[in-house]
Structures are given as structure tokens and as C-alpha cells.
Amino acid sequence: MGKGNGKSDVKLDLEHELPAAESGEETATDAGAAPAAAASSEIDKLRAERDALLDRLARLQAEFDNARKRAAREQQEFREFAAADAIKAILPALDSFERALKTPAGEDKDLRGGLELIDRQFQDALQKLGVQPIASVGKEFDPRVHEAIEMVESNEVEDHHVLDELQRGYKYKERLLRPAMVRVARKK
């Protein structure tokens, strides 16, 4: 084909040539349609990516807020446990005061008055901290707040009710610090 008169080369080129456009507008529209479609798909892709990132941001913000609240709650619980340990350390001294007050009044009424004053101050301080004594005498035995030391046959109170309190129990903010040690009545 290379050495001919050139007519066959021209003929071949005419067969592969595209038909000319009828107007200049169609050529411009066809040329602009491909980039517009590509731009539109690129915009959709960017919008989807943006939406995914905004969703991820919202989730991370919620997760951070939950972690912050959890940390604050754990700190509060730690403070309460620390206070509970300190209160537990004070309770034996309070028990000693209560036992001293249960002894018969002697000749020294000033000493007894001083002990009663100290006992009241302890009780007031504990109440301000949120410590409540557990009521026991005459109440039905509850193993969640009472520790039975002895079962005593008695007709004074109903069956399975607390007859006597040997050591007072306490709650701290609705949490049991120490159960009350009690004697429980049973019918003869």
C-alpha cells in the first residue's frame, strides 16, 4: 500500500473518517456532556464521602460525651467508696459510745452527759454525710440488712422478728455499710 499512486491511501482514510457534524452546537454539547457526567459523578462521590464523615464525626462526638459522663460517674463512685471506708473506720468508736451509754447511770452524771453529747455529735455528723442507722428492734428479720447472731425463744415479739440489737447497722446513700447484729425471736 505504501508505494501506490496515493489514491488507495486516501480511500482508506476516508473509510475510517467520522462523519462531520451538521452544526457546531452538537459538537460542543457532546464534548461537554462527558465532562459534565464525570463532574456529576464526582460531586455525588464527594457528597457521599462528606455524609460518611459527618456521620462518623457525630458518632465520635457522642462516644466522647458518653466517655466523659462515664468518667465523671466513676469519679463520684470512687469518692463515695472512699468516704464509706472512712465512715467504717469511725463506726467502732461510735459503738463504744453507745455501749457506754447503755451502762447504768453512775454517780458521775457530768461524764454521762458528756458522753451523750459526743454521741449526738457523731450521729449528727454521720447524718449530714448521708449515713442512716438501720432500724432493727421489733422489725421483721431481713437478711439483707440484719446479721442474726442468735435465735431466742420468746413470746415478746412475733416469730422471726428482731428481739434485740447487739450492734447497730448503717447505710450510706442507700448502700449497706454494715449489717446490724441482732437476736431474732422464735416461738416456743
Rounded CA gap, 164 and 185, in Å?
9
pLDDT, tens only, 114-124: 888 888 888 88
Q: Give the residue-averaged pLDDT of 25-29.
A: 49
The DSSP H or E segment spanning 13 is helix 7-16
Rounded CA gap, 76 and 6, in Å?
97
- Report the half-sphere exposure of 93 (CA within 13 A, side-chain side): 12
The DSSP H or E segment spanning 41 is helix 24-102
Does the pLDDT of residue 9 top 60, yes or no? no
pLDDT at 70: 94
Which segment, 92-101, 114-123, 127-136, is predicted with the most confidence on average?
127-136
Rounded CA gap, 156 and 147, in Å?
20
Of 85 and 183, the structure prediction assigns the larger pLDDT to 183
pLDDT at 72: 93
The three cell numbers locating residue 151: 435465735
Contact 177, 88 (CB under 8 A): yes
Q: Give the residue-averaged pLDDT of 81-108.
A: 80
pLDDT category, 158, cuts 50, 70, 90? confident
pLDDT at 102: 79
Q: Are strands 170-172 and 162-167 parallel, antiparallel or unpaired?
A: unpaired
pLDDT category, 45, cuts 50, 70, 90? very high
pLDDT category, 2, cuts 50, 70, 90? very low
Of 35 and 43, the structure prediction assigns the larger pLDDT to 43
Percentage with pLDDT > 90 across the chain: 38
Q: Which domains does the chain have, with CATH numbers?
A: 36-129 (3.90.20), 131-188 (2.30.22.10)
**pTM of the predicted model, to two decimals?**
0.55
Q: Report which residue type is found at 163.
A: L
pLDDT at 30: 54
Residue with grid cell 464509706, as numbered in its chain: 84
pLDDT, tens only, 50-88: 999 999 999 999 999 999 999 999 998 888 778 888 888
- The 3-state DSSP class for residue 108 equals coil
Of 90 and 52, the structure prediction assigns the larger pLDDT to 52
Contact 143, 163 (CB under 8 A): no
Q: How far is CA 87 from CA 83, 96, 123, in A?
A: 6, 15, 12
